[in-house]
Amino acid sequence: IEGVESEAHKKWLQGMEWFAIQGHYWKEVSIEQLVKEDIKV
């Protein structure tokens, strides 16, 4: 999967597989922002 740089990203993506399909979403929100939002929840 493009954009996945570590096991942490892989684990995070397991629950959000559709983001990989919705490719345009990656351009709108950075991985850092997504990770921070995930931690808050």
The residues, any chain, with a CB within 8 Å of residue 35's CB and separated by 6 or more, are: 8, 12
Give the count of alpha carbons within 13 A of 7, CB side only. 0
**From the CB of residue 26, how many other CB atoms can be counted at a distance below 10 Å?**
14
| Residue with the two structure tokens 């345009």 | 24
- pTM of the predicted protein model: 0.24
Q: For residue 3, what pLDDT is reported?
A: 63
Would you say 11 and 39 are in contact if contact means Cβ atoms under 8 Å apart?
A: no
What is the C-alpha separation between 34 and 13, in angstroms, rounded? 10
Quick: pLDDT tens for 1-41. 566 667 777 777 666 655 555 554 555 566 677 677 665 55
Q: For residue 36, what pLDDT is reported?
A: 74
